[in-house]
Amino acid sequence: LPALRNRGIGTAALRLLFTQINKPCVLEADPPVTEIAARRIAFYALLGFELWNRDYIQPAYSKGKRPLHLRLMVRGPLTEIRDCGRTVKTLYKEVYGLNHALRDDAPFAGF
């Protein structure tokens, strides 16, 4: 909600999360083509997230919906060159329940 922005709530929540887990964090972000998208990316970057420059296809949430072209942001020891393909496959399988995530012809093959 716009009325709740810039109050430190998101920063505090994420910092609390980081104290409770010791694993890489991955999030999906809109490409930085609008002012609000660029501001969100800058917010996450201040918290240690790195924007990966490869396009990422977020699967459609339900029938009739379209997949979205997004980017991934990562906090932790993952690198884009070494870990992008594995990270996307994990997202597809564990978050979206897509079993085809292990196929070589999946939409992210070649990451």
Residue range 26-74, pLDDT digits in tens = 999 999 999 999 999 999 999 999 999 998 999 998 889 999 999 999 9
pLDDT at 104: 54
Q: Using alpha carbons, list the distances in angstroms from residue 107 to 55, 72, 100.
A: 11, 15, 10
**CA–CA separation, 60 vs 71, rounded Å?**
15
Give the highest mean pLDDT range of 1-15, 28-42, 91-105. Answer: 28-42
Residue ranges of E strands in 1-111: 25-29, 50-51, 56-58, 68-75
Give the position of tokens 């979205």.
Answer: 68
Average pLDDT, the chain: 89
Quote the radius of gyration of the chain (alpha carbons, Å): 15
Give the position of tokens 């980017």.
Answer: 71
